[in-house]
Structure 1
Amino acid sequence: MMRRRVPLLTGSVLLPLALAATACGGGGDVSAGGGDKSLGGQTVTVAGVWSGSELKNFQKVLDAFTEKTGAATRFVSTGDNVSTVVGSKIEGGDAPDVVMVPQVGVLQQFAREGWLQPLSKSVRTSVGSDYASVWKNYGSVDDTLYGLYFKAAHKSTVWYSPTALEQAGVKPPTSFDEMLTAGRAVSDSGLAAFAVAGQDGWTLTDWFENVYLSQAGPEKYDALAAHRLKWTDDSVVKALTTLGTLFKDKQLLAGGQKGALNTDFPGSVEKVFGPKPEAGMVYEGDFVAGVAKDQFGKEIGKDADFFPFPGVDGNTAPVVSGGDAAVVLKDGKHRAAGMKLLEYLASPEAAALWAKQGGFLSPNKKLDLGAYGDDVTRATAKSLIAAGDTVRFDMSDQAPAAFGGTKGVGEWKLLQDFLRDPSDPKATAAALETAAAKAYKD
């Protein structure tokens, strides 16, 4: 995640950021986008994981909301541990109005704690007409819609340097085995095959999920995501064994296993697209493009490109997604203004503001694909929309945060341990089951 955790995290210290200018206006309460600045004098506090270029681009959306409604905005960074930080803010009487939640499991937790305001009729109408039903389902708890998916991620994309593949004499692969073979050719030509961001455990869950979805199929994927299937199932061991063929091959990993465990997500992108390339490929979601473009000046489609995460064992290629759901907290001081922000975020206009900046996909079907700034991102967005209800949401984002969304514990840590030593997939599966059983029970 981006989830999860979406990328470019700066830590768990709360950091108030730019306060948009407050404008005053009169008139009655209107939906965001009305332009009469009726929310003047209010400040909507938004909490989320974003930083760097992602936050810079989201701030443009918040500034447009301010321009239309008069409501100022204040963004606070939560770091990885969204549930812990937001929970402490609520208990301390300083709840944000809106939270951008990067995990389905956290959204469900918040709803069951009674922290969330059901979304307004306006937002429900927009979601019902402009989004595939899968996004409504993931944003709902007990048939009540609490979350609006503003930013989505296509997590079945492998990004590469066209120069690196060309020098190695290989083309974008169409199967997992071909990908490893192509990686070895890249390594033989002087670069490591993959930069793996093992320091960020969420990236490893994404690796596993793509392999598992393709190899085991969507029914078992759904069952494992809901813990109706145990992690000790043979299908999990098989997927870990497949992933281990990559993790244990020092020829394929930039810096070997130790190097991967000391590489965070931004660092993995830098190792492929930075000034001193160390690897030819990096697996992660479409948001890699934003980092490659904004931080390293790469032209998407020319200097940086992607191929779909290839199918495993001759099976269908996976389509794994993720996303950030905007929710409104009941305890927020300006929750009504916060709901107006969500009404604005549900509009194609809001999505278009970020889309043209890059590093962003919208699940809103009403967004014109022409809003995206390059053909590669446009193709990725089209693929995500076309997948409709067949897309599968990031599995770890569906799990309780203690298992699938917390640094240093659960799935994140256990897959880091597996990257360090992938010799015993069965033992890793057993450890995952122990952690999952406790988290789902709690």
Structure 2
Amino acid sequence: MRSSLHRRIITPIAIAAIAGITLAGCSGGPGGADAEAGAEGDGSVSVYTGISGTEAELLEQSWADWSAENGIEIKLESSKEFEAQIAIRAQGGNAPDLAIIPQPGLFADLASRDFLKPAPQAVEDNVDEYWSADWKAYGTVNDTFYGAPLMASVKGFIWYSPAKFTEWGVEVPKTWDELLAVTKTIQEKTGTAPWCAGFSSGDATGWPGTDWVEDLVLRQAGPDVYDQWVTNEIPFTDPQIKEAFDSVGEILLNPAYVNATFGDVKSINSIPFGDVATPIADGTCALHHQASFLDGFITDAGGEVGPDADVWAFITPPVEEGGQAVTGGGEFVGAFSDDADTQKVQAYLSSPEWANSRVALGGVLSANTGLDPENATSPILQESIKILQDPDTTFRFDGSDLMPGTVGAGTFWKGIVSWINGTPTDEVLTSIESGWPSE
């Protein structure tokens, strides 16, 4: 999601303490239609979010009919300072009824401090029926379920030209080694670097490189190691994490493979992340690693995205053929009130009815299995939904969003920049690890 990604990179996790996340789902009954009865509501429910502009307007549109039918006014309040303000408001007794929270770490912190109310049974029933255990786990803190996912994004797409692949006689790779082989073939046939990359993003420069590393940790070391890594049970200096860096480096640190149309390896740090859309759209760059939101940038650059169009994409392949593991992002709905109206709105937002309503309006996707992929407004969003709904897909939230802000939005980003600039990997990993809080 384009706008959601901008929120993430501009406003990193404001609260560093994320201890207490439980990464284990629990089972429940069938999906429920009505929320449990709490205190009687007053006919209005406030929703606080960092979502703004057009996306906020589409949110309001998505629930307008339900709101009118149920006689509950949903009041949306947007703030660019959401991550910094939500805990302050909760502490000061000025919390909203509901909040759309973009980071599991922040969500877990609010729940562990008893600001959030446990989710009503209707919400848990919906999540048990329409969401995977991976997603439910991120809304579970200390064995208590607090909130359902809302929207989602899929990372780790590799963008390419189907026509050029046919011209070069290469196919979409099914393994990481095949991806390296395809890269080598394109380089040999064209005599130019196949990959383009841009890591520049103001104060958040480096974040696209963290996505690369997260993809390789998940694929090479597996989900259990990934879970231990994001909580520092396995440090950055562990050989398994170094292996991921080394694998990414086979592409990003290879001057024969990057940086198409832009310069040498070091140019990666100075190229704005959205600027790579132009060479991808016009075919002068063969391969690029980026999340599903790149679709909008490519369209803005004059390209068409689709299986038979100018540009299409495949998920970064696994180490061994078979199975699917993806990283991504999303938001969770947390409740600071348990009155009846708030519970009804929270239940509606966890339902396939809301997911279909919002996705049909364009620009976003959801991992809700009750969502019809055909409601998505672009081929890449439809493909993303199918990936998320596949029961064989292993999903893990963006690693840097799960880490404390001093690491995920601090030393990790800075370490990537230093690494691209030529600092030895061992030195970079030690530097990143130093960002972890001592307690």
Q: TM-score normalized by structure 1? A: 0.77
Would you say the 8 A contact 1:214–1:317 is kept in 2? no
Aligned position for 2:104? 104
Deviations 1:234-281 (A, max 9, x none): 1111211221222222442242444422344433434423xx665333
Cα distance between partner residues in 1 of 2:384 and 2:429 = 32
Once the 2 structures are TM-superposed, how far is the Cα of residue 417 of structure 1 from its aligned partner?
2.2
Give, as a single letter, the amino acid of the residue that structure 1 aligns with 2:286. Answer: G
Is the contact made by 2:198 and 2:274 (CA closer than 8 Å) also made in structure 1?
A: no
Aligned counterpart, 2:333: 327
The aligned counterpart of 1:25 is none
CA shift digits 1:376-406 (9 cap, x unpaired): 54343223222457333332232223322x3
In the alignment, what sits opposite 1:287? 293
Alpha-carbon separation, structure 2, partners of 1:223 and 1:12: 25
**1:372 paired residue among 373, 376, 382:** 376
Partner of 2:149, secondary structure, is strand
CA distance in 1, matches of 2:2, 2:108: 15
Distance 1:396-1:277 versus aligned 2 partners, 3 A rule: same
Between the aligned partners of 1:148 and 1:295, the Cα distance in structure 2 is: 36
Q: Which runs of 5+ in 2 are unaligned?
A: 13-32, 36-40
Residue identity matched to 1:219: D
1:262 partner amino acid: S
**How far, CA to CA, are the matches of 2:288 and 2:57 in structure 1?**
24
- The Cα shift of 1:10 comes to 8.6
**What SS does structure 2 have at the residue aligned with 1:279?**
coil
What CA deviation, in whole Å up to 9, does each residue of 1:100-136 have, x standing for no partner? 3232222212222332222222211211222222221
Structure 2 counterparts to residues 53-72 of structure 1, below 5 A: 55=56, 57-68=58-69, 69-72=71-74
| Structure 1 counterpart SS, 2:434 | helix
Aligned AA for 1:74?
L
Q: 2:394: which partner in 1? A: 390
> What letter matches 1:112 in structure 2?
S
Which residue of structure 2 lines up, in the alignment, with residue 47 of structure 1?
Answer: 49
Tell me the CA shift for residue 429 of structure 1. 1.6
Q: Alpha carbons of 1:93 and 1:412: their partners in 2 closer, same or farther (altered >3 Å)?
A: farther
1:211 partner amino acid: L
Post-superposition Cα deviations, 1:196-222, rounded to whole Å, max 9, x if no partner, equal 334343322211011112222333222
Contact 2:62 2:361 in 1 (8 A): no
Give % identity: 26
Distance 1:63 1:283, change over 3 A: farther
Could you tell me how far apart the structure 1 residues matched to 2:284 and 2:364 are? 26
The whole-number CA distance in structure 1 between the counterparts of 2:346 and 2:300 is: 27
Unpaired runs of 5+ in structure 1?
Answer: 14-29, 33-37
In the alignment, residue 76 of structure 2 is paired with which amino acid?
Answer: R
1:115 paired residue number: 115
* C-alpha deviation, 1:172, in angstroms: 2.4
Q: CA RMSD in A?
A: 3.7
TM-score normalized with structure 2 length: 0.77
Is the Cα–Cα contact under 8 Å of residues 214 and 311 in structure 1 kept in the other structure? yes
Paired AA for residue 311 in structure 2: A
Q: Displaced runs of 4+ in structure 1, greater than 6 A?
A: none
Alpha-carbon separation, structure 2, partners of 1:92 and 1:307? 47
| Paired residues, number | 404
How far residue 319 of structure 1 moved from its aligned partner, in angstroms, is: 1.2
Cα distance change on mapping 1:381 and 1:328 into 2, 3 Å = closer
Residue pair 1:156, 1:318 contacting (<8 A) in 2 also: no
Q: 1:94 to 1:417 in 2, by over 3 A?
A: farther
SS in 2 for 1:362: coil
Aligned position for 1:303: 310
Matching residue's letter, 1:402: T
User: 1:130–1:364: 8 Å Cα contact kept in structure 2?
Assistant: yes
